[in-house]
Amino acid sequence: MNVTLKLPDKLCREARHRAVDASKSLSAWMAELVARELMVTAPKRNKTLLEMLGDPATADRDFELPDRKADIPRKIEFP
């Protein structure tokens, strides 16, 4: 989606420099800032196991997985 923003010249120049320093376009850099801000203000949700395994803060942690043998037996029907 395209959005037009009006920014003061000085602010826009500084934002462009920061985007270049991050090897990103100004649009990509701004999108990252907005996404980061939304994550900070959004309600917290539990991470998935895949997210936790990929997170350096929790990568070396052991996770308890459910015991598949404890599952309730289900009736399987074939047509």
Q: For residue 2, is pLDDT > 70?
A: yes
- pLDDT confidence band for 42 (50 / 70 / 90): low
Q: Is the dihedral of CA 16, 21, 22, 24 positive or negative?
A: positive
Task: Work out the mean pLDDT of the chain and round it to a whole number.
Answer: 81
For 41, counting Cβ atoms within 10 Å of its Cβ (0-12 exposed, 13-18 middle, 19+ buried), the class is exposed
Q: For residue 13, is pLDDT > 70?
A: yes
Two structure tokens written together for 1: 């989606």
